[in-house]
Amino acid sequence: MSVKKEANGRHFIDFEVEVPGTPEEVWQAIATGPGISAWFVPTTFEEADGKPVAANLDFGGGMVFRHDVKTWNAPTLFVREGPGWVPGSPPIAAEFHIEARAGGVCILRVVQSLFSATDDWDGQLTGAEEGWPAIIRILRLYLAHFRGMRAAIAKVIVPVPGTAADAWATLTHALRLADARDGQRWSAPAGVPAMSGVVERVDQHPFGVLLRLDAPAPGIAALGTIEFGDMVMAGFTFYWYGDAAAATVERETPQWDAWMQQCFPQPAGSDGTGA
């Protein structure tokens, strides 16, 4: 992969993307709790003397990572540093550089780095590099269509038998997304909780579909399958927007939980059935 190395032991990845919005609008999205919570994971900031000192990123399942705020130069540079994903890992820093361009867009440069005398931890950087494109697509959709709106996130994920490809075939067949193409209109078929919008992105490697929703509420749905060792998971991450976003989470999440259990029945006594 493209991990770069310096003589002082710094290992890093970096990339640039164009995103819609002014520097101030992009800053609100990438350097505030409500902004990060609208396209990434629920995030809250800690302050001291009126300045942010830490960001707490909640990845679910009790995994809350506290990142120290290292630099806060609004609206051009935000740097946070937190623990790595692997026990014993050196801290990993994330830098977000914002540069205005003509036409109401900005260039966002993202740099993630760690310091190590060996290459043992580089897998965390390459893993992040592989994950960023999908995350940035959600950020772009948020900035283009839902910028500044209140947001609430819901995850509906279940373990599934077989391979990720098998699970993806089951999921897309049930949702009538097996032949989906970027840009097409889509509505959930009968027997699926009511939902409709536009197919923004279809990926086959890894498996995933990104939907921009207009019903039952404004939002984004990212669905896909993922492998964790010998375990395969399938499900959705919903980003709901508007003043009623939290109410949408409360109303819609149980329906999708039930539908996923029906689509992928769990063995008796396993997590997800309560039996």
String of DSSP letters for 64-133: EEEEEEEEEETTTEEEEEE--SSTTPPPEEEEEEEEEETTTEEEEEEEEEEE-SSSTTHHHHHHHHHHHH
Residues 55 and 67 sit within 8 Å (Cβ to Cβ): yes
The two structure tokens encoding residue 100: 């205005």
What domains are defined for the chain?
4-146 (3.30.530.20), 151-263 (3.30.530.20)
pLDDT in tens, 76-94: 999 999 999 888 899 999 9
DSSP state of 143: I
- Give the pLDDT band of residue 205 (cuts 50, 70, 90): confident
pTM: 0.93
- 3-state SS class at 152: strand
* Per-residue CA distances from 204 to 140, 235, 241, 254 (Å): 20, 15, 27, 28
pLDDT confidence of residue 275: 36
pLDDT in tens, 251-271: 999 999 999 999 999 876 655
pLDDT confidence of residue 2: 87
pLDDT at 142 over 50: yes
pLDDT confidence of residue 206: 81
* Per-residue CA distances from 233 to 63, 189, 218 (Å): 17, 23, 26
C-alpha span between 100 and 157 (Å, rounded): 38
